[in-house]
Amino acid sequence: MNWQQSTRRIFAHPFGQRVVAVLRWLREPVAAIALVFLATTAIAEPFYVPSGSMEPTLAIGDAIIAAKFAYGYSHYSVRWGLFPDIKGRLFGRIPHRGDVVVFYPVGHKEAWVKRVIGLPGDRIQVVHGRLFINGTEVVRKPDGTGRVETESGAYVRVPKFIEYLPGGVHHAIFQWENNDVLDNTKPYVVPKGELFMMGDDRNNSLDSRVPRSQGGLGFVPVANVIGQADLILGSYDFLNASRDGWLGAFRLSRLFHAVD
């Protein structure tokens, strides 16, 4: 009896038939899991915003989608370290200045989100709250005030500005004051293969203005970038859910809102 005949006899047996039935039942769930894994690896992945460092662009409680194909793929593109630890990025591209990106800070396992301010070779400095890139002050225009949600759930109105970065990108920022510890920095020259990140709430963001040696973010390697924050899927004001009720805590106005 050859192996083909043996195989047919095994699967003709009631136990073999049960095995076949189980395998057929598993086929669709396994395919679905594989498709989800492929989608979150190669296309996009959802992330949650736990802090207000990117207000007014991103609010505490936003659920965002990071487009992974925007900058190519690295070891950090796949959860659980399943992607090979290659040098650089596969199909890689450097983020543009002004992009809002999701990344893993050096030495951290949780993802952060900030805005790219400095590219490799750029000279970045903040003087009295004003941003300078390569020795030129970045233009910003007053835009009234905006409402900031603090970590306690309280709301505070602070000055709001529109900042015009080199290259044509403009976006809103909050600037509470101009003499905070982060409002006056030394010049930073961004190393090759790294990025300088800042939060849009300039007085409430632990970012590249604080070196890693001092507990801050420091420069971010391009290899650590996960993807570009592209879309707000939804938003839930969990800090005030007890006051507004679980249904009232949903921010419907932010549903499917593009990240600028």
Per-residue buried b or exposed e for 145-177, using 16+ beta carbons within 10 Å of the residue's own CB: ebebbeeeeeeeebbbbebebeeeeebbbbbee
Bridge partner residues of 141 (DSSP)? 162
167: tokens are 């290259």
* Catalytic residue chosen out of the listed positions 53, 77, 205, 235: 53
* Catalytic residue chosen out of the listed positions 74, 77, 114, 208: 114
- 87 neighbors 199 (Cβ within 8 angstroms): no
- 182 neighbors 176 (Cβ within 8 angstroms): no
Cis upstream peptide for 142 (omega within 30°): no
Q: Which residues contact 218 (CB under 8 A, 6 or more apart)?
A: 105, 106, 208, 210, 211, 212
The HSE-up count of residue 168 (CA atoms within 13 Å, CB side) is 0
Q: Is 53 a catalytic residue?
A: yes
Give the active site residues: 53, 114
